[in-house]
Amino acid sequence: MRKDLWRDVFGRWLALAFRFYLGGVFVYASVYKIGYAAEFAETVASYQIVPALAVNAVALVLPWLELICGAMLVAGVRVRTVSAILGALLVVFCIAVTVNLLRETPIDCGCFHTLDERMTWMTLVRDLTWLGMSIHVFFFDSPLALERRYQSTLKEIET
Amino acid sequence: MLTELERKRLSLRVLLETAQELSGILQPRKIMETFLLTAMGPIGAMRGVAVLARPAGCEGMVLSRGLPPAEAEALEQRLPDICDAYFPYRDLDGDFPSSKIRVIRRDQAGSDSLLPRGMDILLCFNVDESHCGLLALGPLLSADGTGAGGELDADSSTLLHSLLHLLIGALRGALAVSNIRQLSVDLGRKNDRLTEALATSQAAQRGLDRRVHQLSAINELAAEMAHVHDVQGILDGFLLTVLGAFSVNCGMVLVLDRLAHSVDLALRGAPDTGLSGYAAADVLVYKAFLASGARSVAPLTVDSVENPAVALAGCGLPFEGVCAMYFSLDRDVQGVLVLGETISGEALESEDVQMVQAQVGTLMGYVLGARHLATITALNEGLKSQNEELTRTVNELTEARQTIDLLERAGERVRSFLHAEGLRSKRFSWLDCGVILVAAMLLGFLFNLASPNGVPLVPEHLKRPPSQTVTAQKARELQQSDGALIVDARPQAFFDQRRVRGAVNLTPALFDMVYLMRFAQVPLSTPLIVYGGNISRRWDEEVATKLTAREHERVLVLEDGLSSWEARGYPVEP
């Protein structure tokens, strides 16, 4: 009984909290980037990873991907797929941050604003934390999902 | 000889006279009396007794002559004993001995005391099959007149026999006449009885005819009733038949239903005086009930009403009731039959009344049947309507069932869709990944097209021809010999971190402002060596392009940038 309770709290409800947090973070992060695409393109370029030809394209698509995935995560639609996508993005971010930290490139994180705090190892830790959250969300089912409405409706019909 | 002839003549004369005497007489007693008178003389007897008897019945007559009255009376009293003594064959029932005349000796007779003494001549004779006679004579007068003569001589005996034959013949005739008379009387009596019987049988015949008429009428009624199913029709038919069968002028029959509060009335030969109304009919039925022998309203009872003219007076009957019947079908349904006078004016016989009563019983059966039929018909109608209702309901149910089936199928499809969707939501899907990516790309590109802060998909400098380059070594020479100016095109953070010694920071973003401040006085002929590019951005190219546009004559881009400079060991700072 207690085991089930803990499993519930640390599984489903924690996953719900992570979902809302991560989704909110990504939606928030995407808004500015969408509005100021040129500046975000500079940020992307400052990482010195994306080829010059693709920098603008990445700067245009990435914020929208974050927005869509964040919104879907908060709403609880295709949670697994979305958390996987976000996890993959975070993995890429972590690699990019690590590479640039090792290069000692003097750049800002650019995660939320163009003029952000300088990128440090804490940035990597933060990204790894978010990655862990996305993995948790991937593996644990959570309540209050829009899609679960189907399930509950189905159960209502069957009973 | 002469004497002989004389005697014969005398005998014949006696016989003739006797025959003459006896010829006109028809009564046996008279014959016997006459015979005794005429026979005693010629025979010469002083006393005589003649008996005519029916041995079978020990009855007959005893006549005497010459006896004192007391003795004669005593002799009559002894007739049964005489019969027993002298006609011992009476039990033979008519089968008498063939000899007609028997001479009995005195000593042969069993009982001398039966006949007076001196009567020695005893003769028994048979008259016919049932009558016998006895003649006793004596004592004879002797020829000399002293009397006490003994036996008859031959002539006298012959004469006596002849006389007896005459007597027998006369008695037979008389008896035959008497028989015939008796027969005639019997015949007349029987004729009278026959006449009476005929009259009785004719009366019975008339009664039977009437019964037959009544029964045939009732039979017809039964045949007619078989096709009538309403109470009113049954009452009409019944009353008509009863009036005809019993020859009654007027009559009425009514049935009162207390539950339905209704009256069925049939009236003939008189006008309706309001008896079809419930209240009047109720009063009539109640009075009939009181006047009848009924003490309860037991089902299917019929009772005749005593003295209907008085009992039912004041009930509004349009005629005077002669015969009335109260009948009860059950607790709630009762009725009354009232018949008026007959056509002939005679009262109905008790048998007729009984028949009417029986017919009222039959009427009850018909009325009950009709009422039951009405109930059954009503029930049938109810059943029919219920059946229709049921059929309609079944049809509706069938339609509803079809609708439900349809809905169930739709529901099943929705459910399976939801189920699949539910499963999909739980699974990772590459398809979803692709869809999300494509959506993000479409939205991003479309938004960029519409946005005023849009960026070109491909950077502008990539479209232009690359600027003239210079190696690090050459650049060092130019710096040292020609006073070439090293321009760092990278953002300030990079510049601050590490730069070619003496380099000036000029980023594309702040180009115009910094140019005015630092390069306005630089002669256009001074060589400008620009560095600062990486995989993502060619700031050096951009700045070189801008400087060329400011009409500087020698703008060169350092090959491989800062890294090649450092690799050569040329001075950097800090």
Q: Are B133 and B154 in contact (CB under 8 A)?
A: no
Mean pLDDT to the nearest integer, B127-148: 72
Cβ within 8 Å, pair A48-B534: yes
Chain B residues whose CB is inside 8 A of the A46 CB are 491, 536-537
Could you tell me how many residues make up chain B? 574
Cβ within 8 Å, pair A84-B425: no
Chain B residues whose CB is inside 8 A of the A35 CB are 453
3-state secondary structure of B100: coil
CATH superfamily of B222-377: GAF domain (3.30.450.40)
Choose the weakest-confidence range: A110-119, B267-276, B396-405, B497-506: A110-119
For B212-362, strand residue ranges (E) read: 251-257, 262-268, 301-304, 323-328, 333-339
Phi, psi (degrees; rounded to nearest 5) at B491: -60, 160
Cβ within 8 Å, pair B535-A50: yes
Residues with Cβ within 8 Å of residue B386, at least 6 apart in sequence: none
Q: Are A127 and A97 in contact (CB under 8 A)?
A: yes
Mean pLDDT to the nearest integer, B548-554: 85
- Between CA B380 and CA B387, with CA B385 as vertex, the angle to 5 degrees is 90
Q: Are B35 and B167 in contact (CB under 8 A)?
A: yes
Tell whether the model's pLDDT for residue B191 goes beyond 90. yes
pLDDT at B142: 63
pLDDT at B383: 95
Q: What residue spans of B254-337 are helical by DSSP H?
A: 278-291, 308-311
How many CB atoms are located within 10 Å of the residue B123 CB?
20
Joined tokens for residue B391:
């059929």
- Indicate the residue of A52, A82, A153 with minimum beta-carbon distance to B462: A52
Tell whether the model's pLDDT for residue A28 goes beyond 80. yes
- Indicate the residue of B426, B455, B496 with minimum beta-carbon distance to A38: B455
- Indicate the residue of A56, A63, A79 with minimum beta-carbon distance to B456: A56
Cβ within 8 Å, pair B436-A51: no
Chain B residues whose CB is inside 8 A of the A117 CB are none
CA distance A81 to A58: 21
Question: What is the rounded average pLDDT for all residues in chain A?
Answer: 85
Q: E strand or H helix at B539, and its extent?
A: helix B539-549
CA distance A111 to B504: 30
Chain A residues whose CB is inside 8 A of the B496 CB are 106
Q: How far, in whole angstroms, is CA A103 from its chain's centroid?
A: 25
Q: Are B518 and B437 in contact (CB under 8 A)?
A: no
Mean pLDDT to the nearest integer, A125-136: 91
The string of DSSP codes covering chain A is: -HHHHHHIIIIIIHHHHHHHHHHHHHHHHHHHHHHTHHHHHHHHHHTT-S-HHHHHHHHHHHHHHHHHHHHHHHHTSSHHHHHHHHHHHHHHHHHHHHHHHHHT---B--SS-SS-PBP-HHHHHHHHHHHHHHHHHHHS--SS-TTHHHHHHHHHHH-
How many CB atoms are located within 10 Å of the residue B218 CB?
19
Nearest residue on chain B to A44, alpha-carbon basis: B536
Cβ within 8 Å, pair B411-A35: no
Residues with Cβ within 8 Å of residue B46, at least 6 apart in sequence: B40, B66, B118, B138, B139, B140, B141, B147
Chain A residues whose CB is inside 8 A of the B457 CB are 56-57, 60
Mean pLDDT to the nearest integer, B43-68: 84
Burial class, B144, CB count within 10 angstroms (exposed 0-12 / middle 13-18 / buried 19+): exposed
Hey, of B425, B426, B563, which one would you mutate to test binding to chain A, going by the most A CBs within 10 A of its CB?
Answer: B425
Distances (CA, A) of A148 to A58, A68, A156, A159, B432: 33, 19, 12, 17, 17
Alpha carbon of B529: minimum distance to chain A alpha carbons (Å):
22
Alpha carbon of B427: minimum distance to chain A alpha carbons (Å):
6
Q: Are B295 and B277 in contact (CB under 8 A)?
A: no
Strand pairing of B572-573 and B101-104? unpaired
Alpha carbon of B477: minimum distance to chain A alpha carbons (Å):
29
Joined tokens for residue B194:
């026959």
pLDDT in tens, A51-79: 888 888 999 999 999 999 999 999 888 88
Q: Are B114 and B78 in contact (CB under 8 A)?
A: yes
- Indicate the residue of A45, A78, A150 with minimum beta-carbon distance to B536: A45
User: Strands of B262-268's sheet, edge to edge?
Assistant: B262-268, B251-257, B333-339, B323-328, B301-304
Counting residues of chain A whose pLDDT is more than 90, the rounded percentage is: 31
Burial class, B150, CB count within 10 angstroms (exposed 0-12 / middle 13-18 / buried 19+): exposed
- Tell which CATH classification among 3.40.250.10, 3.30.70.60, 3.30.450.20, 1.10.630.10 matches the domain B460-573: 3.40.250.10
CA distance B450 to B465: 29
Task: Give me the amino acid identity at B493.
Answer: A
pLDDT at B327: 92
Alpha carbon of A2: minimum distance to chain B alpha carbons (Å):
26
Cβ within 8 Å, pair B422-A46: no
Tell whether the model's pLDDT for residue B146 goes beyond 50. no
Dihedral (Cα; B345, B349, B352, B354), 10-degree rounding: 140
Alpha carbon of B370: minimum distance to chain A alpha carbons (Å):
59
3-state secondary structure of B342: strand
- Indicate the residue of B448, B459, B493 with minimum beta-carbon distance to A106: B493
Tell whether the model's pLDDT for residue B154 goes beyond 50. yes
Confidence of residue B171 (pLDDT cuts 50, 70, 90): confident
B278 in contact with A, Cβ within 8 Å: no
From B6, B3, B115, B13, select the one nearest B64 (Cα to Cα): B115
Hey, of A31, A81, A101, which one would you mutate to test binding to chain B, going by the most B CBs within 10 A of its CB?
Answer: A81
Tell whether the model's pLDDT for residue B150 goes beyond 60. no
Mean pLDDT to the nearest integer, B319-331: 89
CA distance B487 to B507: 9
Cβ within 8 Å, pair A65-B454: no
SS (H, E, C) B403-425: HHHHHHHHHHHHHHHHHHHHHHH
Q: What residue spans of B54-103 are helical by DSSP H?
A: 69-77, 79-86
Hey, of A62, A64, A115, which one would you mutate to test binding to chain B, going by the most B CBs within 10 A of its CB?
Answer: A64
Strand pairing of B499-500 and B528-531? unpaired
Cβ within 8 Å, pair A46-B491: yes
| CA R_g for chain A | 18
- Indicate the residue of B436, B456, B537 with minimum beta-carbon distance to A45: B537
B463 in contact with A, Cβ within 8 Å: no
Mean pLDDT to the nearest integer, B165-192: 89
Question: Count of CB contacts below 8 A, A vs B?
Answer: 131
Chain A residues whose CB is inside 8 A of the B536 CB are 44-52, 55
Task: Give me the amino acid identity at B40.
Answer: M
Distances (CA, A) of B4 to B7, B9, B18, B119: 5, 9, 21, 27
Handedness of CA B155, B159, B164, B169 (dihedral sign): positive
3-state secondary structure of B505: strand
pLDDT at B89: 60
Cβ within 8 Å, pair A68-B439: yes
Cβ within 8 Å, pair B441-A147: no
Number of separate domains in chain A: 1
CATH of domain B2-184: 3.30.450.40
Alpha carbon of A127: minimum distance to chain B alpha carbons (Å):
21
Residue pointed to by tokens 């060169």: B556
B536 in contact with A, Cβ within 8 Å: yes
Cβ within 8 Å, pair B443-A64: yes
Burial class, A73, CB count within 10 angstroms (exposed 0-12 / middle 13-18 / buried 19+): buried
Alpha carbon of A6: minimum distance to chain B alpha carbons (Å):
22
Cβ within 8 Å, pair B536-A51: yes
Residue pointed to by tokens 């029986």: B358
Question: What is the rounded average pLDDT for all residues in chain B?
Answer: 84
Cβ within 8 Å, pair B421-A148: no
From B224, B480, B538, select the one nearest B363 (Cα to Cα): B224
Tell whether the model's pLDDT for residue B111 goes beyond 60. no
pLDDT in tens, A82-108: 999 999 999 999 999 999 889 888 888
Domain boundaries along the sequence of chain B: 2-184, 222-377, 460-573
